[in-house]
Amino acid sequence: MSNKKLGRGLGAIFGDDLSNVIEDIQQGSSSELSGKKMDVLLSEIRSNPYQPRKTFDQEKITELAISIKQHGVFTPILIRQSINGYELVAGERRVIAAREVGLETVPAILVDFDDDSMMEIGLLENIQREDLNVIEEANAYSQMMDKLELTQNDLSQRVGKTREHIANIVRLLKLPTTVQNMVVEKKLTMSHVRPLITLEDKDEIEYYAKEIVEKGLSVRAVESLMRADKEPAQRQEKPRLDPQLLDVERGIATRLSTKVKINPKNIQISYNDISDLNRILGEMGLLED
């Protein structure tokens, strides 16, 4: 695994509180990053290609649009030059609201950001403002680790989250898209889907997810349902463990979010790939920093 960093990284440029520094730049009160002030045509602006947020609160957009219609855009957006026009660095809600009220131009500050910084700022700004749902956050973490060759430990330092938080969020991407959508819509909680992640069959995961939503099952009820469904199959197998060890097996599987099987005198723990193995080792406290 690579320990590649983001060059200097935005933390080295801005410090820990990225949102406040970005706001200072937009207000013209920061000398950390100078840029050209200009008015730019909305038709020439494209979204940050690394923007992790896919959904916006329409009620907040409408409120912002009303304010812009009455007072205009006070705070410049941040943009960078692209092959065709400009790409947003920060200020997407202002752009959306300005388009809704029919503006042709908005005030902007032209800055010089590379692709890595665009990706990082798109994630950090939204995380600090708590704008992302958990699936958007998971996809953003996964994209940063893949593109920038970061370990979970590297990423935890960049975004100010614990490695355990990142591991728990990223494993949601193992769920079928239909179940991920239930999480986004807050029909399922993180606690609800934790036992589902241990399952390998997509149809089985979707079945239990629908049962949770339709019947309003608690987390404990979900675990009981899954246990009851598996008992007939277990009885057909050769003699297994006593009930206490079966409970231990299920407890370890839920804790590690993976398939676990306790056999006489050994334990089998399944993993998908090296990244998943490192996650499991981290959960067990066996991964060195």
CATH number, position 20:
3.90.1530.30
Q: Assess if residue 142 is contained within a domain.
A: no
Q: What is the mean pLDDT of residues 251-258?
A: 83
Catalytic residues: 92
The domain tally of the chain equals 2
User: Which pLDDT value is given to residue 106?
Assistant: 92
261 DSSP β-pair partners:
268
Q: Please report whether residue 149 resides in a domain.
A: no
Is residue 3 one of the residues assigned to a domain?
A: no
Domain that holds residue 118: 9-131
Question: What is the model's pTM?
Answer: 0.56
- Asked if 194 and 249 sit in the same domain, the reply is yes
Let me know if residue 66 belongs to a domain: yes
Do 104 and 200 reside in the same domain of the chain? Answer: no
> Is 186 part of a structural domain of the chain?
yes
Q: Is residue 96 part of a domain?
A: yes
Model pLDDT for residues 191-230, shown as the tens digit of each residue: 888 888 888 888 889 988 998 998 888 888 888 888 777 7
Average pLDDT for 28-46:
74
Instruction: Assign 13 a pLDDT band (cuts: 50, 70, 90).
Output: very low
Q: Give me the long-range contacts of 61-64 (CB less than 8 A, separation at least 24).
A: 61/93, 61/96, 61/97, 61/100, 62/97, 62/100, 64/93, 64/94, 64/97
Specify the pLDDT at position 156: 84
Question: Would 153 be classed as within a structural domain?
Answer: no
In this structure, the answer to whether residues 23 and 126 fall within a common structural domain is: yes
Q: Check whether residue 26 and residue 126 sit in a common domain.
A: yes
Note whether 226 and 234 are within 8 A (CB).
no
